[in-house]
Structure 1
Amino acid sequence: MSTKADQKVPELDFDTPALKRHRKVRALKDRSASVGIAIGGSSVILAVLLICFYLMYEVAPLFSGASIEQKGSYSLPAEESGKSLYLTSEEQTEIGFRVAENGDMIYFNIADGSVIKNVGNPLGQPTAFALESDTSRMMAFAYADGRVLVAKQNYKTTYPDGVRLITPSIEYPYGAEGIQVADFAPRQLSVRDNDERLTLAVIGDQQAQVVRLNKDVNFITEEVELTETRAEIPFVEGTRALLISGDQRYLYVADVNGEMSEFDIRDLADVTTKDQIDLIKGDAQLVSMRYLLGQSSVMVADSSGRVSQWFNVRDENNVEHLTYIRDVQHPTGLVDMAMEHRRKGFATLDDRGIVSIFNATSSRQVVDERVSDDTARMISFAPRANGLLLEDSKGLHFFAVDNEHPEVSWSSIWGKVWYEGYQEPTYTWQSSAANNDFEPKYSLMPLAFGTIKAAFYAMLMAVPLAICGAIYTAYFMAAPLRRKIKPVIELMEALPTVILGFLAGLFFAPFLEENLAAAFSILIVLPVGVLLFSFIWSRMPAGIRWMVPEGWQPLLLIPVIVLLGWGCVAMSPVIELSFFDGNIRGWLGEPGIIFEHGITFDQRNSMVVGFAMGFAVIPTIFSITEDAIFSVPKALTQGSLALGATYWQTMTRVVLPTASPGIFSAIMIGMGRAVGETMIVLMATGNTPIMDFNIFEGMRTLAANLAVEVPESEVGSSHYRILFLAAFVLFVFTFVVNTIAETVRQHLRKKYGSL
């Protein structure tokens, strides 16, 4: 009989064909999984990099300089008429126009300089010339007998045989015989016209005169009848520039030294001197004084190369004063200055033939190039600012200009800018308006501020509730109740944010406005009420307390919270009447109550966003935090309790430090969700791009701005590329936050990983 020792242990063969095939298949699966994971991870990184590079590709043209290229050069068209008093071209830059010294109005082909039409001046040699504006194409001539002729360029476009044909002409809206303005020979002339009146100002050798023609429509004949009023104004010795304001309220008269007198000409029966202003620094002399687009800003160029911008600003008494705003400096003396027709840009020409192109608002110089080796006299922009005409001693030169985004600079995007019509420099986002003279304002500061503000108030609500709820659910709550509560809270994350935004904007915002006192009282009554109920429950007889199983006590708080909330809402009118004189919004707005100028209230505000977006963020933070706390090894908590620590001590000194990497990740992921949220802030904030940390004011975020304006922007425009820059800023912000979060998380994991 054999013993166990004699029995042979069966040998295991690990090299059977089946096991070999199994190992090969498993090795293939491992390699495939490794390759697949590597490809997937690399693809994600590559996709993120491609997004980053694409955003940079769209943004880069904003900060690239402009270019200028000569396209034509020829002798002065109709050179026998003399030098030019004015140069311009029509919309398509096919036909040029110049006013010669003898008064002739000459149309010529821009490509080769050939004369198309030479319109002789009907009243002969002018003594002064003035342009109403580049956009109106209206101009005026003054003559030795005191008459003023108003003329206007006109272009008719036809398409015979499918080919564009532009036919130029000259019209005289106030007659070809001229308007008798003065009884002396004008040396300086200014003209301003609108639908209601025409104002002319002339200055002679010793006299100055203003004439206004008010336009009235005859209801019977429907003809325009002119009513003339005139007045003499104080004579300014050595007058170099004469300018009527765009609203025809003021007349600016500047002498050669840049000393300007401002006259109030609203009532010609009582012309008064309003202000005396020194426009020029040092010993320089005035070269040119012209209006920018919109006729609000006066641009002053002097012989030292300085170009300054001035516009009216109201003082504390609500009185307008022409105020210095900003300037740019050209290296040497200037000889001429030209305004863009449709943007707040201008070009300067110095005595060396160097042309510089600037944007007035951003103070950005986009071109600084020498384009003439001879004595340059005059420059002028084409209507679309895509061409430049320059006259020098050799003749006329035409340059193509590529200058797409002059209004954008780092200072205009991130710094305060003083815009026309504003009382001080501000951060402003306003990309469009109804009028043609509007200047886009592309400051990203209000949008970045709004993004941070919305995220701050959302996190202020979400983080305490989500983390405290996760702590109680994972550590103190009964397991059966936890299995019911956790899925319900996580299910909240599936609720579309557009629904939350809809409810917040159309239901919660009006409700909060009507029950603002209740909102304040809930913040006080609810915590106190819960603590009071907990204290009373802890003093209940043991028999009553044992009726509720351990870990199920939170259910008792539901009716308490509902009752306290209902009580606060029901008592809201009483509280508002007793403590706030029946108008809590008016009480908040009174100066000196909380802030110096009070607190303004907007129905869709940051508090609404805090509740709505906090409600959307809570499930994310709660779920990750709860998993992190619940995943803490039970041996750690049991060991802490066995050593005599209480549940609370174990939670604060063992569980939370161990789970801190996961908790921090939850907060950062929630913050990323809040920063990138679109629909809630779009529908519940009023979408106003303002910088005010007031909880009762709205905001506009970067993400909401992209959702609103990207569909409306013109592809390739400054607005379009600025929106891509906003997306890039949001991308960088998210990247930086995630990088910091990962660094902190790794530090916490390393610090508490040994527990």
Structure 2
Amino acid sequence: MSDSVFAGSNTRFAQWRKFKDKAAAVGITAGGSGVLFAILLIFFYLLYEIMPLFQSAHMEQTQRYARVGSPAPTLHMAVEEQAEVGFRLAADGTYYFFSVSDGSIVSEGRLNLPADAEITSFNIDSENSRIFAVGLADGRMLIARHHYKISYPNDERLITPVLQYPYADEPIRLADSSLQKITLRNSEEALVAIAYTANGGLEGRRWVKEEDFLTEEITLVEENLTLPDLDIKPHTILLGPTQDWLYVLSHKGQYRLVDVDEEEVVDAGVLFDNALLTDARFLLGGYSVLVSNSAGETAQWFNVKSDGAVHFEKIRSFRNADKGIVTVSPEHRRKGFVTVNDAGQLDIYYSTSQRHLASTKLPEPATKMAIAPRAETLLIETQGGELLVWEIENEHPEVSWSVLWEKVWYESYPEPDYIWQSSASTNDFEPKYSFAPLAFGTLKAAFYAMIIAAPLAVCGAIYTAYFMAPAMRRKVKPLIELMEALPTVILGFLAGLWLAPFVEKHLPAVFSIFLFMPIGVLLFAWLWNYIPMRFRKHVPDGWHPLLVAPVIILVVVVCVWMSAPVERVLFDGDMRAWFTAELGISFDQRNALVVGIAMGFAVIPTIFSIAEDAIFSVPKHLSYGSLALGATPWQTLVGVVMPTASPGIFSALMIGMGRAVGETMIVLMATGNTPVMDMNIFEGMRTLAANIAVEIGETEVDSSHYRVLFLAAFVLFMFTFVVNTLAEIVRQRLRNRYGNL
């Protein structure tokens, strides 16, 4: 009976144990699968957010109807903000506001021109201001502006278009002969108009705006401009937004760059060979000029200052099917533009990213084109006298491989460079999304952190696990691991507000500590050997760090105390100025040295804990066997313990590096967050993680900037994944090599 009870008990115990084993296996498998699933979710969510950045533009024709109004050729077309009302100005002086959806006329009229006036030229200040000028055959010009008043009667939007005359209701005298070409620029300070006349010269006027501080009325004070003689006949003249640069472009592709203030031609040259100029427009901001020719090329040119002189230089070009470009329409709020060639091919480009976003064939060749301010609607006039309305979906044209990782020549820069500058105070800004300085800053911060943390952590782990007394190890190891619980925001706060000023004030002391600390410790060890044995025997083996601690404190105190005298004697009282003057090394208070010290302090516990466990876990019989064969403790450490523990030590270093690469708050608070590519230890940086933390709260959801930050997170994710994969491969090879010891 007892045997049967005992057997039954064993059976139940075995079944219970089997159940627990299966439950543990299922739980562990589920946990691991859950972790992998979570990582995959993060991966695919990041992909979901960044994929729209690399999608091409999509176009669709939505309307087609007869040209609105007069049969006279069109001088200018435009579309208002909501893409509901279009504007057409004809060569006979009539203008029409019409519904974009069906072409019905909303209102019409004629410019305030004399009955017999002949329009000879046209130019618009900018699509954003909507101020334009028409030049007349009698040497006068009329300035007008198409404007749209928005109201909400009965909670429905009503757009009322009007034509305004902001400066004078009548034409203004500019020259004594016909205005063949005209350009106009309006600013808060002045209005400038320049024309090429039938007499073969340039005539210009500046009207300085003077405001009465009581009535706030603006009075125009006229000034004559003295402009140089030209040796070419202009096809197009363009005046920059600052009103000091005049671009004169001939039909044969010659150009002259005129300094209006200095009244001279400062640069001359040829835009292209074996082709004719067909159109020239300013990109957003008025700094770059888009130049199109009969060979199907559209090139971006802008002023570059080098060797103290300004030159008009070709920066990049865009080509279609070798058919002449008929017209170009730049976007109002981005650096994109649309071209149509004489074969009726429509192409969408973005200048900075050099992307060809879309291409389609029109039903027939076009003569004029206008794009809405939001770049969602395109209005095209064909040679057959019809108007085509195209809807465009082009959300994120600013990003390409070259923008992210290659040097890009941005406006106002003397040469191509890696630049991250995602926003500015002006709407004419050109976003700069180079990841190169951010990736460089990430590696720079991790490098300096690991330079400080890796030797200290690994050496500390070796001593703690192999030489330190067990009783002391039980106190030291938890204390160091407790450092890992310290919030990094506290470390960053201390680094930015205390450590950075301390390092700046005691810079000689910092270098002295790095130099004399190992010398002081080695000197103390050498002197320790000469202390009589009756004193040394009172310090048990493994407790020597207690004796070294005062030495370390003493070295630090002496170095700080001697910092000021050393700086006065060797560096004339200012080591930072000496670095800059003698070595050409700039110094920023919050720099890589501060980050290296602070982040090294944060990384040390991680590396120490894992490496110490790996070394301590080496089987004792291996070290005992080595010692029994006559090896010294150091030989045993180097030849047996370290190779056996090398997979764990390597894992510790890789995990520590991953922690340094992904660190956010310390880098955010302890550096100037300047995205520069400089290995100088006294310069700051900006890392990928810190950049995301700084800018994610300022971005518009689903904007290009928003998605680029997700792309930065994806790059960081992939970098960590690749590094960890390589680390695991190396760790497995080390385990296979030394696992049989």
TM-score > 0.5, shorter chain as reference? yes
CA deviation digits over 1:542-598, x for unaligned, max 9?
11211211211111111111111000001001111111111110111125x3xxxx1
The residue aligned with 2:158 is: 165
CA distance in 1, matches of 2:314, 2:579: 37
Q: How many residues align?
A: 734
Whole-Å Cα distance in 2 between the matches of residues 120 and 678 of structure 1? 62
TM-aligned CA deviation for residue 618 of structure 1: 0.5
Instruction: Report whether the alignment pairs 1:256 with 2:257.
Output: no
Structure 2 equivalent of residue 211 of structure 1: 205
From 122, 147, 151, the counterpart of 1:154: 147
The offset of 1:285, in angstroms, is 0.3
Unpaired segments ≥5 residues, structure 1? 1-9
Give the aligned partner of residue 344 of structure 1: 335
Matched, 1:223 2:217: yes
646 and 13 in structure 1: CA distance in 2 versus 1, 3 angstrom threshold: farther
Cα distance, 1:48 vs structure 2: 0.8
Q: 1:221/1:488 Cα in 2 relative to 1: closer, same or farther (>3 Å)?
A: closer
The Cα of 1:39 is off from its aligned counterpart by 1.4
| Contact 2:175–2:197 under 8 Å retained in 1 | no
**In structure 1, C-alpha distance between the alignment counterparts of 2:196 and 2:274, rounded to whole Å:** 25
1:669 CA displacement: 0.8
Question: How is 1:384-395 mapped onto 2 (pairs within 5 angstroms)?
Answer: 384-394=374-384, 395=386
Alpha-carbon contact 2:141-2:171 (below 8 Å) kept: yes
SS at match of 2:740: coil
SS in 2 for 1:202: strand
SS at match of 1:632: coil
- Residue deviations 1:178-197 (CA, integer Å, cap 9, x gap): 11001101111111111111
Does the residue aligned with 1:349 lie in a helix, a strand or coil? strand
Classify 1:232/1:667 alpha carbon distance in 2 versus 1 (closer, same or farther; 3 Å): closer
| Aligned-partner Cα distance in 1 for 2:29–2:215 | 85
The code of the aligned residue for 1:712 comes to E
| Aligned-partner Cα distance in 2 for 1:248–1:550 | 82
Tell me the CA shift for residue 477 of structure 1.
Answer: 1.1
Equivalent residue number for residue 599 of structure 2 = 613
State the 1:235 CA deviation: 4.0
Structure 2 CA distance for aligned equivalents of residues 630 and 222 of structure 1: 83
Cα RMSD between the aligned structures? 1.5
* 1:179 corresponds to which of 172, 183, 205: 172
The answer to whether residue 479 in structure 2 is matched with residue 485 in structure 1 is no
> How far apart are residue 233 of structure 1 and its match?
3.9
Cα shift readout 1:376-431 (whole Å, capped 9, x = no counterpart):
11222111111111110231111010000111111101111111111111111111
Change over 3 Å in CA distance of 1:634–1:74 after alignment to 2: same
Matches within 5 A, 1:17-166: 17-80=8-71, 82-123=72-113, 124-166=117-159
Opposite residue 415 of structure 2, the aligned amino acid is E
SS at match of 2:441: helix
The whole-number CA distance in structure 2 between the counterparts of 1:218 and 1:647 is: 92
Aligned equivalent of 1:234: 229
In 2: Cα distance, 1:520 partner to 1:245 partner: 53
Amino acid at match of 2:345: I
For the residues of structure 2 that align with 1:550 and 1:261, how far apart are their CA atoms? 85
Partner Cα separation in structure 1 for residue 342 and residue 228 of structure 2: 35
Q: Specify whether residues 681 and 396 from structure 1 end up closer, same or farther in structure 2 by C-alpha distance, changes over 3 A only.
A: same
Q: Per-residue deviation at 1:12?
A: 5.9
* Residues 666-708 of structure 1: per-residue CA shift (max 9 Å, x gap): 1111111111111111111121111111111111111111112
SS in 2 for 1:53: helix
Question: 1:344-423 maps to which residues of 2 (within 5 A)?
Answer: 344-370=335-361, 372-394=362-384, 395-423=386-414
Q: CA deviation at 1:646?
A: 0.6
| Paired residue secondary structure (1:187) | strand
Distance in 2 (CA, whole Å) between partners of 1:636 and 1:259 is 84
After superposing the two structures, state which structure 1 stretch, 21-30 or 140-149, moved more: 21-30
2: CA distance between counterparts of 1:397 and 1:136?
Answer: 25
1:276 to 268, 274, 278: 268
Q: Which runs of 5+ in 2 are unaligned?
A: none
- Residue in structure 2 matched with residue 733 of structure 1 by the alignment: 719
Does structure 1 conserve the Cα–Cα contact (< 8 Å) formed by 2:340 and 2:346?
A: yes
Residue deviations 1:272-300 (CA, integer Å, cap 9, x gap)? 222112112x2100011111111111111
Name the CA distance, whole Å, in 2 between partners of 1:19 and 1:219.
103
Aligned-residue offset at 1:79: 3.7
Task: Note closer, same or farther for the CA distance 1:690–1:14 as it changes in structure 2 (3 Å cut).
Answer: farther
Could you tell me how far apart the structure 1 residues matched to 2:259 and 2:619 are?
Answer: 84
Contact 1:312 1:320 survives alignment (8 Å) = yes
Question: How far did residue 709 of structure 1 move?
Answer: 1.4
In 2, the alpha carbon distance for the partners of 1:98 and 1:236 equals 35
Q: Which residue of 2 aligns with 1:474?
A: 465
Please say if residues 352 and 373 of structure 1, whose CA atoms lie closer than 8 Å, have aligned partners that are also in contact: no
CA distance, structure 2, for counterparts of residue 707 and residue 196 of structure 1: 40
- Partner Cα distance (1:221, 1:31) in 2: 89
Deviations 1:3-52 (A, max 9, x none): xxxxxxx9966973322222222211211111121111111111111111
In the alignment, residue 259 of structure 2 is paired with which amino acid? D
Shift of 1:220: 5.8
Counterpart in the other structure of 2:278 = 287
Residue of 239, 242, 250 corresponding to 1:247: 242
- TM-aligned CA deviation for residue 251 of structure 1: 1.5
Q: What's the offset of the Cα at 1:529? A: 1.0
Aligned to 1:303: 294
The corresponding residue for 1:718 is: 704
TM-score w.r.t. the length of structure 2 is 0.97
User: Cα distance, 1:373 vs. partner?
Assistant: 2.5
TM-score (norm 1): 0.95
Query: More displaced, 196-205 or 466-475?
Result: 196-205
CA distance in 2, matches of 1:562, 1:523: 13
Aligned-pair identity in percent equals: 53
CA distance, structure 1, for counterparts of residue 424 and residue 250 of structure 2: 37
User: For the structure 1 residues 608 and 232, does the alpha-carbon distance in structure 2 shift closer, same or farther, using more than 3 Å as the test?
Assistant: closer
Match of 1:433 in 2: 424
Contact 2:228 2:265 in 1 (8 A): no
1:222 Cα shift? 4.0
Quote the Cα distance in structure 2 between the aligned partners of 1:75 and 1:369.
21
Aligned-partner residue type, residue 89 of structure 1: V
Tell whether the 8 Å contact from 2:208 to 2:221 is kept in structure 1 after alignment.
yes
Cross-structure match for 1:3:
none
Residue 225 of structure 1 and its aligned partner are, at CA, apart by 2.3
CA distance in 1, matches of 2:521, 2:349: 65
Query: What SS class does the counterpart of residue 161 from structure 2 fall into?
Result: strand
Q: Does 1:320 align with 2:320?
A: no
Residue aligned with 1:96, SS: strand
Q: In structure 2, give the amino acid aligned to 1:405.
A: H
User: 2: distance between equivalents of 1:446 and 1:45?
Assistant: 31
Q: Distance in 1 between matches of 2:293 and 2:551?
A: 77
Q: Deviations over 1:629-676 (max 9, x none)?
A: 111111111111111111110000000000001101111111111111
Aligned pair 1:265/2:260, yes or no? yes
Residues 286 and 302, structure 1, Cα contact 8 Å, conserved in 2 = yes
- Residues 461 and 287 of structure 1, relative CA distance in 2, 3 Å threshold: same
Alignment check: 8 A CA contact 2:696 2:706 kept: yes
CA distance in 1, matches of 2:268, 2:433: 34
State the shift of 1:232 in Å. Answer: 5.1
Letter in 2 for 1:555: L
**Partner of 2:618 in structure 1?**
632
**More displaced stretch, 321-330 vs 51-60:** 321-330
Partner in structure 2 of residue 562 of structure 1: 553
**What is the CA–CA distance in structure 1 between the aligned matches of 2:129 and 2:142, rounded to whole Å?**
16
CA deviation map 1:514-548 (0-9, x unaligned):
00010011111111111111101111111121121
CA distance in 2, matches of 1:285, 1:348: 16
